[in-house]
Amino acid sequence: MNLSEVLNVALPDVSASAGRRAYPRIHPRVVWRERIQEGEPTILCIVPGVECVFPFTPQQWDLVQLCDGERSYEEISEAYGTQGGTRFEASQIQEFTEQLEGLGFWYKSPQQKILAASERLAAERRKHSTRKSKVGDLSEIVVAYWDPDKYLTWVHTKVWWIYTTWFTLLTLAVFAVVGYFFVTHWGEIWRDTLRYYDFTDKSGYDLAEFWVLFCLLAAVHETAHGLTCKHFGGEVHRMGFLLIFLSPAFFVDASEVYVYGGKWQRIATFIAGIWVELILFAVALLFWSGTPQGSWIHDFVYKIMLISGIGVVVLNLNPLMKLDGYYIFSELVGMLYIKERSTAFVTGYIKKNIFRLPVEVEYVPPRQRLLFVPYCLLSGLYSYAVLAFLSKFTYNIFKHYTPEWAFLPALFVAYLLFRSRLKSLVRFMNSVYLDKKEKLRAWLTAPRLAALGVLVLLLFVPLWRDTVDARCVLEPASRAYVRAVVPGTVEQVYAEEGQPIRAGAPVAKLQNLKLESDAAQARAELRSAASRATSEQLRYGSFGAAERERQRWAERSRQLSDELLQLQLRAPISGIVLTARIRDRVGSTVSAGTTIAEVADLSTMIAHIYVPEFDMNKLYLGAAARVRPASSFATLPATVLAIAPASSEIPEGLLDKSHYQGIRPPQFYAATVLVPNPSGLLQDGVSGNVKIWVGRRSIAGFGWREVREFVGRKIW
C-alpha cells in the first residue's frame, strides 16, 4: 500500500469543514528582523520549512502578528483598528491572508497538513485523469535533503578561525598569487577549461570522474554558505542534493542570514562558496606546481583547478542568473527579487503597450527602469544561451558514441529545456488571439481573405531561382609563355606589362656573341666547302667527299641561323602582357628555358569552382551562371563547361573550410565555368563568386527538398 492509499483510507475520518474553518496563525518559530530596503523600513521574515523570505511593511507586520489562529477576520479588523492603524474590512484581511496562504506563510497543525496533503493528492488524481502524464521538469530535480544544522555547528567549532582577520588577509594574499597565475597562464588554462567541459571525446570513466569531482566541490561550496550563515547567528535546517538540467548540484537554505546579518554579512555569506573554491584552487595549484608531470596526482589536482577556477569565477559571479553573483548584486543595489520584478515589468509593459492587452503593469520609478530594462534583456539572453549550451553539451556527449544520431537526444533535451517556454509562448499567443479575434474577424474582409489566399498559393508557385553558389579564382582560358630557347643576354625589350600584343609581334631581343661568331664561321666554312666541291667537280677529282663536307657545313650553318632567329623572342598568341617590370631584364643573362614574359588572352576567362557533394545533383553541362568579381558589383554571364567525375581537394585560401567542421566533411567536385570577357573587366587571379542557375522552385519546394534530403541521408 503506497502513501496515497494510506491517506485515502485514513482521511475520511477527518472533518474537512473543520480544517476550512481554521483561521490563519503565525508560525511560532518565525524569525524576523527590521531592515532598511530601498530607503524604507521593511520587516524580513523567514518561516521554517519555507524557502522564501517574506518582506512586510511595518503596518502589514502589525496585522500579521494579530493572526493567532483564534481571532476571526472581523476580530482582527477590530483589534487592528484599536491599535490606531488604518481600518481594514474583514474581506480585505481575508484576501491578504489567502495570498500568504498560497505562499506557505501560515502555520499548519499536523491535522491541517494531512488535510492539505489529501487535497493535493485529489487534485493530482483529477489532473492525471484528464491528461496523460508527462516527463518531469529537468530544471530542478530534488533527489534528497536533510537538516545539516548540527553538522554545520560541529564544523564551525573546528574551523572558526577561518573567519578571523589574519586568515582573511592571508587568503587575499593567496588570491593575488592565484590572479598572477591566471594572467600568466591564461591561454593554457582557458584552452584546457574549454576542452575539459567539452564532452565530445570523453569516455564513460571521464564522465563518472567529472560527476564525482563536481559533486564533491559543490558540497564544499554549499557547506561554506551554510557555515557562514551559522557564523553570523543564523540556523540552517535544509541542505540537499539535486539535479539542475541533469547536472549534479547541492543546495543549502541559508536564508536566515537575511534576518541575523546585515548587508555585508549577507554578501559574505553569498561569496563564501566562491571564496572556499578559490582556496581549493590555490591548494591544488601548490600541489600541481610541486608534483612531477605525468603523475596521477599532478593530473588529478589540475582537474580540480579546472573545475574550481574559471568556471566558478565566471558562472557564480555572473549576476544574470540566480547564483551567488545575483544575490551579491541584489545586495549591492539594495533590491530584492530583481530578476522577477524586472521580468514582470518588461513583459507587462510589452503586453500592454505593444500587444495592447488589458494587463496591469506595476509602477516602477524611472531610475529603476534604467536598471530593470537592460537587466531583463541581458538576463533573458544569457539564460537562453545557457539552455542552448546544455543542448550542445548533450550532443557532444552522445557524439562520442553515435555521431550520426547524436542530434536526436540533443533535440529531446532541448525540447525538455524549452518546453515550459514554448507553452508560455502558446498561452501568450492564445491570449493575444482571444483579445484580438473580434478585431481580426472585422479586419478579414473578403478582399483581404482573397489576398491571403493568393499569398498562400504563392508558396507553391515556382517563382524563385534555385542556385548553386561557390567561390572561384579566375584565369585566362588561353595563356602562353615567351621563353628563351637559347642562352643569351637581353639586349632590348619591346613590350611592357598590360600592353596588348599580337601573335608574332617581337617581345624582346637577345644577344649571344659566341652564337653569332659560330654562325659567321659556319657561313665562311660553307662558302669554302662549296668552292672546293665545285673545283673537284670541274677537275673530276674526289667530288663525293667534297660534297659531303659542303652538306655538313650547310646543315651546321642552317642550325646556327635558326638559333640566331630564336634570339628574337616573339609572342605566340595575341593577348595582354602580364609580366611585371619586364624591362628590368635588359642587360641580364638568361639560360635556355628562362621565362621572359607571360601573355594571356583575357577575352575569354575560365573559373574553377568547387561544389560540395550534396549540390552535385543540381549541376548539368551548359547550365547558365553569373560571375561577380570580388572587386566589382557588376556580374558577367557564364556557362558550365565541364564537371569533374571525381572529388578533389580545395586550394588553400579559396574556401573557408571551418564552415564544414561537421561529423563527416563533404567531398568537393571541381567544375569549370566559361566566362566571356570582351570588356576586359576580369583580370587574371581575381577571386569572385559564381552563382549557377539550376531551375526554379517554390518556397514549399525548397522546404520539401531539405526535408527529403535530410531523411534520405539519415535512413540510407
User: Which of 4-18, 288-302, 522-536, 583-597 is predicted least confidently?
Assistant: 4-18
Does the pLDDT value for residue 577 go beyond 80? Answer: yes
CA 137 – CA 129 distance, rounded (Å): 20
CA 639 – CA 672 distance, rounded (Å): 9
pLDDT at 228: 92
Does the pLDDT value for residue 596 go beyond 60? Answer: yes
Q: What angle do CA 69, 49, 58 make, to 5 degrees?
A: 55
User: Which of 370-374, 602-606, 648-652 is predicted least confidently?
Assistant: 648-652
What's the average model confidence in pLDDT over 350-358?
Answer: 86
**In this structure, how many other beta carbons lie within 10 angstroms of the beta carbon of residue 238?**
19
DSSP conformation letters of 504-524: T-EEEEEE-HHHHHHHHHHHH
Note if the pTM is more than 0.85.
no
CA 471 – CA 651 distance, rounded (Å): 11
Element (H, E) at 602: strand 595-612
* Higher pLDDT among residues 603 and 313, named by residue: 603
What's the average model confidence in pLDDT over 479-496?
Answer: 86
* Higher pLDDT among residues 227 and 385, named by residue: 227
The share of the chain scoring above pLDDT 90, in percent, equals 1
Q: Which of 411, 500, 472 is nearest to 650 (CA)?
A: 472
pLDDT at 140: 64
CA 453 – CA 445 distance, rounded (Å): 12
What's the average model confidence in pLDDT over 151-168?
Answer: 90
CB within 8 A of 414, min separation 6: which ones? 387, 388, 391
Catalogue the long-range contacts made by 410-417 (C-beta closer than 8 Å, 24 or more residues apart).
413/138, 413/246, 414/387, 414/388, 416/135, 416/137, 416/138, 417/138, 417/139, 417/245, 417/387, 417/390, 417/391
Residue located via cell numbers 502589514: 60
CB within 8 A of 680, min separation 6: which ones? 602, 603
Secondary structure, 3-state, 668-685: EEEEEEEEECCCCCCCCC
What's the average model confidence in pLDDT over 522-533?
Answer: 80
User: What angle separates helix 73-82 from helix 90-102, to the nearest 10 degrees?
Assistant: 110
Pairing verdict, β 595-612 and 464-483: antiparallel
Q: Which of 149, 124, 665, 644 is nearest to 403 (CA)?
A: 665
Does the pLDDT value for residue 129 go beyond 80? Answer: no
Does the pLDDT value for residue 344 go beyond 80? Answer: yes
In which band, very low, low, confident or very high, does the pLDDT at 389 lie, cut at 50, 70 and 90? confident
CA 101 – CA 25 distance, rounded (Å): 10
**In this structure, how many other beta carbons lie within 10 angstroms of the beta carbon of residue 596?**
20
CA 321 – CA 339 distance, rounded (Å): 8
CA 372 – CA 187 distance, rounded (Å): 35
The share of the chain scoring above pLDDT 70, in percent, equals 85
CA 454 – CA 653 distance, rounded (Å): 46
Q: Which of 320, 335, 427, 331 is nearest to 379 (CA)?
A: 320
State which of 136-145, 152-161, 175-184, 506-515 shows the largest mean pLDDT: 152-161
DSSP conformation letters of 23-68: PPB--TT-EEEEEEETTEEEEEEE-TT---EEEE-HHHHHHHHT-B
What does R_g of the chain's alpha carbons equal in angstroms?
44
Residue 478 and residue 570 in contact, taking contact as beta carbons nearer than 8 Å = no
CA 142 – CA 639 distance, rounded (Å): 65
CA 323 – CA 215 distance, rounded (Å): 17
What's the average model confidence in pLDDT over 271-295?
Answer: 83
Q: What is the mean pLDDT of the chain?
A: 78
Instruction: Take residue 240 and report the three cell numbers written for it.
Output: 540537499
For 135, which DSSP code? P
